[in-house]
Structure 1
């Protein structure tokens, strides 16, 4: 009983001593805490928003789809599909959708739109939001059209104006604000237009080669199991070139789409947290150096090694817990802005609610990360001798290399495990940790090398202030390493995102060449191609390409029927190859976006009756075929036997028509087909003029202006990079907090130097200039190395990931480097302002505020 009481008393004494000592050093400990607050806030905000996003998708999955489940096909459903629909009690509503050029007679403008013809009371969940509100119901009765609200504003359209689709003109009943299944990024390229189902036939747009989707909407019985339905019907429908989508599967698919983006943001936030922890390690190191005398006194009074160690461990853990709490609350508040940041990416509104899991994660991270990164400097208390009370020791007691190695291993293990929890793949977690180590290692190496070079090649001939500023970079308690690490990593993140965005835009950008097509004319029937080409020449437009397209599906792979492969649960062939309707062309040459991987094209070697073909490498990989393997295709009911004689890589990012499968000439010319013609308009005005003229003569032909697509792509990348930069800026803010903490923590050392310099005759202006130059060096070196690292990283991304040319921009060097340097300088001087005003007695008494 007495032993238990003694143990409780001992623990109570440790907490009291930790509290008393911590209260006397409150400002410095608060800065330790602040080092991780922003990182935890970033992680918690992303985690909390992801939780809310998943919950909202689950709750609104029916509203997003408008029905419980949908059977869809890109062809009119065959007898078996109709039998399945009838067995389910018949569709409760149906629709047909296809892209088409819309012509607005009011101003003569044209635009590619996504036409949706609806019949029945769809949507069954959610509603069509229109202006005026009554238009959602009246458009069917009045045989009018609901036109995307943004499109209405763009072309100054009003209720009562008309829209021409193909061969028919329809009055505009109202503006479509939102609808289930519409919206998102695709709506930026082809805005939705809803019309009654009965008007679709009048447009004349349902032709051979037209890209049409037939949808059948269902309301499920109250006790119907969606997963079981999907499991039973989806394979059967796949075999019939149809598909089943339930609201559950659609919700999961939508969730996965945003989940990957959330994982990336989590990593960016986690890096900010790691930077904060580096700040903790540095600050605790300096803090403990000042506390060694106190530790020696405690040991003289009878305190054991464990007790003196535990006192400061409790302090750091307490600050970590408080930092985790503050960071979690800040993160919860920060997530309120996420719906605004990603507005336009989500097809629904998000209700933000409190989630305990991210808050618990924040508290856990605060304690674990603080203790882990502070453990190495805390261990210095273990080796303090009581005699240090009487001695003046310049060298600090240090722990063994073995202990430091174990601590480092523990830190890396924790980072790896946490990265795995975020990414859910061991390989990704490994590469993340490796990348962090490389970046941190290079920045640390540069900082250490810089300090050694300055020390070794010290410019003794320089003036007093310049020499003293350089001395500060490698003096005792210097912050060169930690600040270059924090500043460099934050700059590296932001600059890499900037360079990556430029790579993607350059990859998508149009070449300033008359031979680079920027207008694509789609859905041209064989009897129209000569007339379309002739009219383009009349409009002084070049015909760059006239590309035939034949649609077909895979019937056999290596003598195995596609249906047999679908039914084989052990098959590793990717199902999309079996279910996809391929759009195939024929030619005897490769184009600029293609490179040979294996075999040769064109090829004359083939068996009689077997056609040689060229496959893209992704199709060959997913179909598990190689050179010499046989494929059978179904072309509108006619079976064609082929042999793979060539495999090529395709740059799908190039804005031109690329194909998975290429046939040689003189094989498919008589097959049912449609054509695509490409041309080049010198400017936007000429493009609009050509589109108006062509739509007037060929109403069933769709036209894509790649300039508009590029504008949409650039807008999307701008939004994505803005969100990522917002998160990456936490790294810069964390670096600033580390800077403040570092200067505040080493304040006594700086005051001591200032007093000594003033005693020797230095003026206030000289001391200010010394600090000015020191922070200029730190800010410039950290930001410049960060940009250089991002340049190298972006070059590797361009070569190995995007496979695109990399033309570096000077903007990060001209904007980011000076901006970060100015921020570091401003914060450093602001924190250093008290140094000049501190009286000499403050140093003698060691009354550091």
Structure 2
């Protein structure tokens, strides 16, 4: 009896037959596949791409959330109260009475610049200081800390708190006396932290804080003095509705009474200058994080397709062994889910550590402690990692479950096809939602995602056109017999697989686009930001120069070695009417417009256009009798246009003109700038003083010149902004270092895209080269073919990426960051060369073993 006949006989119940082994569970199968694929290197590129994207996103999300939380938490502290009334005149009594009647805590703050002097016994030096007179309830919010660790309130009568710069410049010490106006006050402590100090022009000078009871005795407040009055109010526990009532009633009183120069600041408007700096820094970081995430999506899609192509034979064998489609799909789904979860958790931890580096680098932008991080950025990072895997990686892998068993004997069956449209749409929508949540700005988020998608489509379209053109040129080159053999073979291979070449060129171009944008951001956008406050920017401003002092002061500057300086007349005027219609703050809905028309403007006149100004519309005509030149931002805020008639009140004299030009003004240049300029050489009928700005020749000479000017012209106010200029430049350096650190993650992700795009052709190249070698092609010829193909594909991708990067960089500069864009014609050429070199290097790394594989092994695997 044969073995087959015996197998057909019924089982003997008395004989113990072996029980078939129970197949492993789906979870165990997925774990075994994950471990095997990781050890084989099948998932490394994919997991590295997810890791880098999640790390970049989480670092920015953690930083942004903590900064926003810190600003919201400490807004009242930074403002000085829950609400503050600011005016250039003493706060009207009805408003103080309103705060008192509602049971609110309140205090008065008076700020103005003045000169502090050392007694003659200590050298008699002088120093511009920002004087601040405070009431007994100060501070309502936050803590005033001294250098010796004490937490204090308002100084006692007869005493002052000062910044350390006051002691250093005047040669004084704690316990000594300082002369302020007509008073001699004792220095009782050095300020370490002032909670409500702003960053306005008056606060460039070091602080000198005294009790408001001592202010009258100093004699510093005169009718024409430039003084800022602030009434700060704060709610008390148990009266949550008192503050909203105060804001509502105070706003109504201001509107009804017509008080000019008075505004109400709430928590939302506190410290706008710091908010602007933080917003610009986080825009940079968010853009780079989104770019990294978009690149990761491309890398994951390429790596997943390559992964699926490599596992077709394995799945066909599983189907032969009886594994159902559902089981195979679940196994690969769990494997990818586990890989994405591991990579995402690693990315979250790396992002948490990276954001701590950002906090250290950006510490100069905020002086308050940040709240601890929450789970929201971590959840956002996990969602990004899983959406990358499930949306872009899983669709081609799930096709493995449908591989037919016949592929075991017919290798042309079951090839990976385009993924499910439904799965792709769901993945893209989830991915886009995460990017919008990160951006916090639909314009920035949608702009980045849409621009990226359009770039991919454009790259694919142009690559397809290039392949079609190449397919026409190859026969012509073959007929001419003039082209090298390796070049003909390379072009034929490219033309023979147009779909794969389009994918490869598009993905390479996307990676190179990111790299080109990073270079442009670093060299042009960031350099333009830094150039806004150059190293040689003026660090001294002198105001209150009387007309009869001009010649002597300019001679003194020349004698001290100051060759270049700004010199302009300064006229104080309040806007009365536009096109003959009287205006008031209530005429405008915009809050900034209300503030502008509610105070006096600094006007000036000149017989030439300032060099740091550019005419955007209209024309500048010297000595135009009725002409006016208005700054672009002011015109936009107030709704002004060319031809409008403006009328100003200058010390009781009405003066006006017609807008003949609009100017772009670089306010961060540390130069003397004005909202409104009269294009006239002289306006003798108007009262005016002069202002100058210059760079001190040297540190020692600069100090000597300051002292000489103060002694020779006692009425002058010399503002030393060197410390603030250095601080601004240091802050820019901090932001740039933080951006460059995150750039490293995006650069790494771009390189992963390059490797993935080249590696995706590894198996097909292996089979093609094996056939060529079997037909007699030498290894040297095949290396030349591979090198030519990679160089050509990389050069085409680089050229496309460079051209698009120039356009995207211009859009980002204009619409996102507000920088002047300089066209760089070298970018496409440099990108072309870089693309060819990087593609060659990536190809050498990814395909280094292709030509070393035995021919028979490659042919058997391809059979």
The TM-score range, normalised by the shorter chain, is 0.7 to 0.9
2:142 to 113, 116, 126: 126
Judge which range, 319-328 or 406-415, deviates more.
406-415
Residue 110 of structure 2 corresponds to 96
Residue 435 of structure 1 corresponds to 451
Residue 370 of structure 2 corresponds to 350
Residue 301 of structure 2 corresponds to 281
Residue 608 of structure 1 corresponds to none
Cα deviation, residue 275, structure 1:
1.4
2:690 to 675, 696, 701: 675
Residue 14 of structure 2 corresponds to none
1:597 to 602, 609, 617: 617
C-alpha distance 191-722 of structure 1, shift in aligned 2 (>3 A): farther
Is contact 1:81-1:242 (8 Å) kept? no
Deviations 1:717-748 (A, max 9, x none): 22222222222222123235556777888888
C-alpha distance 397-368 of structure 1, shift in aligned 2 (>3 A): closer
Cα deviation, residue 271, structure 1:
1.6
Is contact 2:297-2:388 (8 Å) kept? yes
Q: Quick one: distance in 2 between partners of 1:50 and 1:104?
A: 45
1:524 is the counterpart of 2:540: no
Higher RCO by CA contacts (8 Å cutoff, separation 6 or greater)? 1
C-alpha distance 145-768 of structure 1, shift in aligned 2 (>3 A): farther
C-alpha distance 802-271 of structure 1, shift in aligned 2 (>3 A): closer
1:398 to 411, 417, 428: 417
Judge which range, 182-191 or 57-66, deviates more.
182-191
Is contact 1:553-1:582 (8 Å) kept? yes
Q: Quick one: distance in 2 between partners of 1:813 and 1:748?
A: 32
1:233 is the counterpart of 2:250: yes
1:74 is the counterpart of 2:94: no
Cα deviation, residue 344, structure 1:
0.8
C-alpha distance 114-438 of structure 1, shift in aligned 2 (>3 A): farther
Map 1:451-466 onto structure 2 (within 5 A).
Answer: none
1:363 is the counterpart of 2:363: no
1:38 to 48, 52, 71: 52
C-alpha distance 533-407 of structure 1, shift in aligned 2 (>3 A): same
Q: Quick one: distance in 1 between partners of 2:460 and 2:317?
A: 35
Residue 571 of structure 2 corresponds to 550
Judge which range, 368-377 or 413-422, deviates more.
413-422
Residue 505 of structure 1 corresponds to 530
1:806 is the counterpart of 2:822: yes
Deviations 1:420-444 (A, max 9, x none): 4444555444432343245556777
Residue 56 of structure 1 corresponds to 70
2:636 to 599, 621, 626: 621
1:717 is the counterpart of 2:738: no
Cα deviation, residue 713, structure 1:
3.8
1:25 is the counterpart of 2:42: no
Judge which range, 364-373 or 24-33, deviates more.
24-33
Q: Name the SS for the 2:677 alignment partner.
A: strand
Cα deviation, residue 298, structure 1:
4.6
C-alpha distance 263-651 of structure 1, shift in aligned 2 (>3 A): closer
1:576 to 592, 595, 599: 595
Q: Quick one: distance in 2 between partners of 1:518 and 1:678?
A: 7
Q: Which has the larger radius of gyration?
A: 2
C-alpha distance 641-484 of structure 1, shift in aligned 2 (>3 A): closer
Unaligned runs of 5+ in 2: 1-23
Residue 215 of structure 1 corresponds to 230
Is contact 1:158-1:172 (8 Å) kept? yes
Cα deviation, residue 273, structure 1:
1.6
Q: Quick one: distance in 1 between partners of 2:548 and 2:456?
A: 64
Residue 361 of structure 2 corresponds to 341
Q: Quick one: distance in 1 between partners of 2:273 and 2:710?
A: 37
Cα deviation, residue 289, structure 1:
0.8
1:243 is the counterpart of 2:260: no
Judge which range, 650-659 or 101-110, deviates more.
101-110
Is contact 2:292-2:746 (8 Å) kept? yes
C-alpha distance 363-631 of structure 1, shift in aligned 2 (>3 A): same
Residue 709 of structure 2 corresponds to 694
Cα deviation, residue 508, structure 1:
3.9
Is contact 2:137-2:154 (8 Å) kept? no
Q: Quick one: distance in 1 between partners of 2:780 and 2:640?
A: 76
Q: Name the SS for the 2:270 alignment partner.
A: helix
Map 1:136-147 onto structure 2 (within 5 A).
Answer: 136=152, 140=156, 143-147=159-163
Report the count of equivalent residues: 818
Cα deviation, residue 307, structure 1:
6.4
Residue 514 of structure 2 corresponds to 489
Q: Quick one: distance in 1 between partners of 2:826 and 2:418?
A: 46
Cα deviation, residue 574, structure 1:
3.8
The TM-score normalised by the length of structure 1 is: 0.76
Judge which range, 55-64 or 663-672, deviates more.
663-672
Judge which range, 718-727 or 91-100, deviates more.
91-100
Q: Name the SS for the 1:132 alignment partner.
A: coil
Q: Quick one: distance in 1 between partners of 2:403 and 2:585?
A: 75
Q: Name the SS for the 2:525 alignment partner.
A: helix
Cα deviation, residue 86, structure 1:
6.1
Is contact 1:184-1:344 (8 Å) kept? no
Judge which range, 770-779 or 708-717, deviates more.
770-779
Q: Name the SS for the 2:159 alignment partner.
A: coil
Cα deviation, residue 371, structure 1:
2.0
Q: Quick one: distance in 1 between partners of 2:429 and 2:607?
A: 55
Q: Name the SS for the 1:714 alignment partner.
A: helix
Cα deviation, residue 21, structure 1:
3.8
1:268 is the counterpart of 2:293: no
Residue 7 of structure 2 corresponds to none
Cα deviation, residue 274, structure 1:
1.7
Q: Name the SS for the 1:28 alignment partner.
A: coil
Cα deviation, residue 122, structure 1:
1.9
Is contact 1:74-1:212 (8 Å) kept? yes
C-alpha distance 534-165 of structure 1, shift in aligned 2 (>3 A): farther
1:389 is the counterpart of 2:414: no
Deviations 1:674-700 (A, max 9, x none): 321345665555544422311233345
Judge which range, 719-728 or 657-666, deviates more.
657-666
Cα deviation, residue 285, structure 1:
1.0
Q: Quick one: distance in 1 between partners of 2:544 and 2:320?
A: 91
C-alpha distance 588-685 of structure 1, shift in aligned 2 (>3 A): same
Residue 11 of structure 2 corresponds to none
C-alpha distance 701-248 of structure 1, shift in aligned 2 (>3 A): same
Q: Quick one: distance in 2 between partners of 1:635 and 1:54?
A: 42
Q: Quick one: distance in 1 between partners of 2:182 and 2:844?
A: 72
Q: Quick one: distance in 1 between partners of 2:839 and 2:217?
A: 67
